[in-house]
Amino acid sequence: MRTGAVVIGGDYQGLGIVRSLGRHGVPVVLLDDERSISTASRYTSRAVRVASLRDDEGTLAALAGLRRRFGLEGWVLYATREETVAALSRHRADLARHWRVPTPDWDCVRCAWDKRETYRLAQKLGIAAPRSWFPMDEADLAQVDVDGPFAVKPAIKEHFFYATGVKAWRADSRADLVAAFRRAAAIVPAGEVIVQELIPGGGEAQLAWCGLFRDGRPAASMAARRLRQHPSEFGRASTFVETVSAPELDGPSTRFLAAIGYHGLVEVEYKVDPRDGEPKLLDVNARTWGYHTLGRAAGVDFAHLLFLDQLGRPLPPTRARTGVRWIRLATDLPTAVVDWRAGRLRTGAYLSSLLHVHTEAVFSWADPLPALYEIALGPYLATSRRL
């Protein structure tokens, strides 16, 4: 069988990779530990479900089993979740004997995986970021010398997200901060709680620099603005995104990624601080991101470009067109209802935004079954937090 790809995780993000590659005739094997909509795609050559992909051992065992059963020597591995990124990165040398592994090694990835390392490096490189503190215990909260509001969040998302279903908690006062710290410290190991100043504004203030980065510079890039996110304040996922012109993100993104020797797909998240107008670095995602299919609609098919990169093909530099919009209706509609009830969104403005959408995360006339499958799986996806 010709060289293909293994997509690890079959939610809407994985579906975008499956479709991107399948449209170019690339065979795709889907690997997942959950019921996923990508199994219904016409572009999925084979779907394999395993017991668990939550840790390194489960991921490595699943990949070894795939290779033994189907002979996928030299295929490209695509990670869609943070824990998979970590597993591939930590064991990259061994995996690279049999697979093409676009995930960089651990010395590089840990600077994105652990937000303490992210913010320390940003400070060293002179890249603006929200003020952050890393208290080891409750007594260290005395070092936090601002009054709030604060975001209390984990240094390593997976240690927190699967227990709470959220990315962060808001604390408006010192008493709220102490209470949130105690709750977080009961979930994650000591030293992994981050207290961060909360930059004013909602999802509309969040920008992202997305790209295929190699040899110290972007081979393909896209800037995007989150017009809506789910949940509204600490969005764990974008629901409505538009490509924009944001050249001010090129410099800090390139400096950060070049400093860690990054190679592959990446999303670098920022939030514009209205107090000084400066974008502040929030997060670095060392993988495809939820709305990566916006790139294809804007002229930059990131998943396929990564496949060509792994096969050693030349890639002329490309940049996404501006003004292209992406939506995921399954989460955007309920988010809009919440914002409407809170007075943050008007009915007319929401309906008007729907008239100018270029691509939907799941629905496709050329591949309709995943959308129908998502409707059928709605209760399961909601309770498993995959929506």
The burial of 233, by beta-carbon neighbours within 10 Å (0-12 exposed, 13-18 middle, 19 or more buried), is given as middle
Task: Please indicate, yes or no, whether residues 316 and 268 belong to a single structural domain of this protein.
Answer: yes
The domain boundary residue, chosen from 103, 122, 141 = 103
Instruction: Flag residues of the chain having pLDDT under 50.
Output: 387
Task: Please indicate, yes or no, whether residues 81 and 33 belong to a single structural domain of this protein.
Answer: yes
- In the three-class reduction of DSSP (H, G, I as helix; E, B as strand; rest coil), residue 155 is classed as coil
Does residue 320 lie within any of the structural domains?
Answer: yes
Supply the pLDDT for residue 323.
Answer: 97
The CATH number linked to 28 is 3.40.50.720
Task: Please indicate, yes or no, whether residues 225 and 295 belong to a single structural domain of this protein.
Answer: yes
Does residue 47 lie within any of the structural domains?
Answer: yes
Does residue 311 lie within any of the structural domains?
Answer: yes
Task: Please indicate, yes or no, whether residues 192 and 230 belong to a single structural domain of this protein.
Answer: no
Cα–Cα distance for residue pair 152/12, rounded to 1 Å: 28
Does residue 384 lie within any of the structural domains?
Answer: no
Does residue 377 lie within any of the structural domains?
Answer: no
Tally of domains in the chain: 3
- In the three-class reduction of DSSP (H, G, I as helix; E, B as strand; rest coil), residue 331 is classed as helix
Task: Please indicate, yes or no, whether residues 231 and 336 belong to a single structural domain of this protein.
Answer: yes
Residues 255-290 as b/e (b if ≥16 CB within 10 A, e otherwise) read ebbebbebbbbbbbbbbbbeeeeebbbbbbbbbbbb
The CATH number linked to 156 is 3.30.1490.20
The burial of 348, by beta-carbon neighbours within 10 Å (0-12 exposed, 13-18 middle, 19 or more buried), is given as exposed
Q: What is the sign, positive or negative, of the torsion defined by CA atoms of 50, 54, 58, 60?
A: positive
Supply the pLDDT for residue 152.
Answer: 95
Does residue 365 lie within any of the structural domains?
Answer: no
Task: Please indicate, yes or no, whether residues 19 and 75 belong to a single structural domain of this protein.
Answer: yes
Does residue 271 lie within any of the structural domains?
Answer: yes
The domain boundary residue, chosen from 159, 181, 197 = 197
Supply the pLDDT for residue 381.
Answer: 62
> pTM (2 decimals)?
0.94
Q: Where are the alpha helices (DSSP H) in the chain?
A: 12-22, 56-70, 82-90, 92-95, 106-113, 115-125, 158-164, 174-185, 250-259, 293-297, 302-310, 329-341, 347-354, 369-376, 378-383
The residue range of the domain holding 140 is 131-197
Task: Please indicate, yes or no, whether residues 207 and 180 belong to a single structural domain of this protein.
Answer: no
Supply the pLDDT for residue 166.
Answer: 82
The CATH number linked to 339 is 3.30.470.20
Residues 6 or more apart whose CB falls under 8 angstroms from that of 242 comprise: 224, 225, 227, 323, 324, 325, 326
Task: Please indicate, yes or no, whether residues 240 and 183 belong to a single structural domain of this protein.
Answer: no
Task: Please indicate, yes or no, whether residues 11 and 85 belong to a single structural domain of this protein.
Answer: yes
Task: Please indicate, yes or no, whether residues 17 and 85 belong to a single structural domain of this protein.
Answer: yes
Task: Please indicate, yes or no, whether residues 78 and 147 belong to a single structural domain of this protein.
Answer: no
Task: Please indicate, yes or no, whether residues 268 and 297 belong to a single structural domain of this protein.
Answer: yes
